[in-house]
Amino acid sequence: MTRSLALACLVSCAAGTLPGCASGDVRAATPGQPMTLQVGERVTLPGDAALRYVGVTTDSRCPPGVQCIRAGDADVAFEFTPAGGTPVAVGVNIPESPAATVGEWKLRLLSLEFGEAPAATVRIDPTD
């Protein structure tokens, strides 16, 4: 997928014009439980906060079935919105730094699929 097509998909999703991206399709995250997010998907967190999976900004990971010199890594973008607050960009890297603190929460990227708009499996835990 070209970068312009990927950007068009993200914009369409943000506008709610792609299936699974409309505001009525927002689901609640259960702290401590893994959940798989699609690019552009938004979930709510306890306390009226929200997390959106923006997408993969760079991906140099070695694809399955290919022999590579190095395993590579991927930068993954999220957007955290605290209750009544302004959205904040959050980035994680797999495998180097797969976790980030977002408000009262610890976001951990557990896995990232391969492909044009890879699904991301995350877990959100309280920071305690």
Domain ranges for the chain, please list them: 25-126
Mean per-residue pLDDT over the chain, rounded: 84
**Domain 25-126 grouped into CATH 2.60.98:** yes
14 falls in which pLDDT band (50, 70, 90)?
Answer: very low
Measured distance CA(118)–CA(128) in Å, rounded: 30
Better pLDDT: 18 or 125: 125
**Torsion angle, alpha carbons of 113, 114, 115, 120, to 10:** 20
Write down the pLDDT at residue 16: 43
24 falls in which pLDDT band (50, 70, 90)?
Answer: low
pLDDT in tens, 43-100: 999 889 999 999 999 999 998 888 899 889 999 999 999 998 999 999 999 999 999 9
This prediction has a pTM of: 0.78
